[in-house]
Structure 1
């Protein structure tokens, strides 16, 4: 097992044992900023090497993918889970969007397996953040005058995660490979070390969210595992249609299988305040994130390898 994953195991174990271990808030903030900028920079460097027009089909496809996954999750949550409309819409938005942390783990995993992938994937990551949020809001309350679209747009497009990812992408694109060379010691060489600290804290947060699963039953556990597996199949099929490489297929399957725990909770808090955030975070962080990190990504790799022959 990759040592980076073991940091996550350490965090979740310490959290379950109620250890006093905790990263200082300032350190966790710094680690998150560096991680998001590093991912954006890598995508921007690759984006500078190729015309944007060639990427347009992939950009459109992942936006549609974000819409579709949220629309599929909603009726499952309503009919099988018997959740309230607002809660079902909120959870569907989480699972239609993406997890930056899961993406970073997938990148580290492919690196350890010496599998290359299309470097513009951070651009697709940014694009997949938004559609599910729009779907979640519309499913929860419809389109009405009471919807505070100004606040929603501000939270979605000017939230910390999107600004850092998109900002890093634009900096990498504007500077190009040679311009970013002085930044490599921090953003490239230390990437796995930064990711290890991030996963340590995520393990502690995950352990705290597990208490919510005891209260709301086994449905969220089943959904938190079954939905990523289904979404990964859809993501793999989309990657095949787009002609992505083995690594690109694994990344897109992982993005489809992941669930947001940064951008979507913030947007739902503003637009759908009646939704219970514990349900969404318990499923996304308590089940899906550890499942993907520990088991899911190798499964998606094996599936992509089998499909591509």
Structure 2
């Protein structure tokens, strides 16, 4: 059995944490690596868009936004009625599972490129688009009212969201920068896999820590955090087929549907829904779903997409 070297660093992080190894990882470095990945993903998409602008992109983007609105509506009743969670926590967790994980997307891209599987150049735009709708839906579900969506919230949590700005801004820079963008390639493009490996080492440490904290609702939370990625991933696979995407594109759409946010959404929920149990959301999305996707979900959806596109 061969495990991709990048993914192996994630496993190493989990093992180190579970064994109680004292591994110092500067918090500032973690944030820097996260920023690097967002910028690199945006730039790669922008560079590719220079040669591959698709006129159907507008209709595809609308479909992707609709997909982002649908996912939390699927997650919420499961959390509410099967998990017996209150509206606040059900809405907060649903928002996490309607949004996306940039790191999971980065892992999928790395695996696709390692296997020489092509994918559409505009996918970083879809990553950005899927960050926003679920936050809105999750808040409305939690509060039972549209009044929570005000001008201040839209500006602070959506328009001024760091991950959205970095990825969308880098996408635009990559697109309009022309040949000058090649000057950035040695840093942001060629070092991508190495930086991702280091980032996944940290993510493994965090995931291992979250796994050890499972207490209340652990059986349901574990079940939900593995079931929802499968439901979202299969829905994403169906959307990719409907949009006539390539094998790589179908796989990435599935991965976007399967992933759960642990950066943008927690920040928004902390600001707009402080009464929600943040530990429960992070444990589910980062402690269970992220490892599940990296080790099982992403390889499965890549294989499924290859089968459907053949």
2:215 match: secondary structure: helix
What is the aligned partner in structure 2 of residue 262 from structure 1?
A: 263
Instruction: Provide the rounded CA distance (Å) in 2 between the counterparts of 1:112 and 1:223.
Output: 31
Give aligned pairs, total.
Answer: 308
What is the aligned partner in structure 2 of residue 6 from structure 1?
A: 8
Please list the CA deviations of residues 37-63 of structure 1 after superposition, one character each: whole Å capped at 9, or x if unmatched. 000001111223344643112111110
Give 1:1-309 correspondences, 5 Å limit: 1-51=3-53, 53-143=55-145, 145=147, 149-176=151-178, 178-309=179-310
Structure 1 ranges of 4+ moved more than 6 A: none
Q: CA deviation at 1:148?
A: 5.4
Contact 1:152/1:270, CA 8 A, preserved across alignment = no
Contact 1:22/1:201, CA 8 A, preserved across alignment = no
Instruction: Provide the rounded CA distance (Å) in 1 between the counterparts of 2:197 and 2:148.
Output: 43
Contact 2:33/2:199, CA 8 A, preserved across alignment = yes
Contact 2:139/2:148, CA 8 A, preserved across alignment = no
Contact 1:212/1:278, CA 8 A, preserved across alignment = no
Instruction: Provide the rounded CA distance (Å) in 1 between the counterparts of 2:308 and 2:53.
Output: 29
Contact 1:147/1:271, CA 8 A, preserved across alignment = no
Instruction: Provide the rounded CA distance (Å) in 2 between the counterparts of 1:6 and 1:118.
Output: 27
Instruction: Provide the rounded CA distance (Å) in 1 between the counterparts of 2:53 and 2:31.
Output: 34
Please list the CA deviations of residues 214-268 of structure 1 after superposition, one character each: whole Å capped at 9, or x if unmatched. 3332101111111101111100110111110000000010010000001100111
CA separation of 1:60 and 1:169: change in aligned 2, threshold 3 A: same
Instruction: Provide the rounded CA distance (Å) in 2 between the counterparts of 1:51 and 1:304.
Output: 23
2:130 match: secondary structure: helix
CA separation of 1:147 and 1:240: change in aligned 2, threshold 3 A: closer
Contact 1:67/1:96, CA 8 A, preserved across alignment = yes
Please list the CA deviations of residues 18-41 of structure 1 after superposition, one character each: whole Å capped at 9, or x if unmatched. 221132122222211111100000
Contact 2:75/2:228, CA 8 A, preserved across alignment = yes
CA separation of 1:116 and 1:276: change in aligned 2, threshold 3 A: same
Instruction: Provide the rounded CA distance (Å) in 1 between the counterparts of 2:189 and 2:141.
Output: 40
2:177 match: secondary structure: helix
Give me the TM-score of the superposition, normalised by structure 1: 0.96
Contact 2:233/2:258, CA 8 A, preserved across alignment = yes
Please list the CA deviations of residues 4-26 of structure 1 after superposition, one character each: whole Å capped at 9, or x if unmatched. 11110111111112221132122
Instruction: Provide the rounded CA distance (Å) in 2 between the counterparts of 1:19 and 1:159.
Output: 34
Q: CA deviation at 1:136?
A: 0.4
Q: CA deviation at 1:106?
A: 0.1
Unaligned runs of 5+ in 1: none
Instruction: Provide the rounded CA distance (Å) in 1 between the counterparts of 2:87 and 2:305.
Output: 35
Instruction: Provide the rounded CA distance (Å) in 1 between the counterparts of 2:87 and 2:239.
Output: 29
What is the root-mean-square deviation of aligned Cα atoms in Å?
A: 1.4
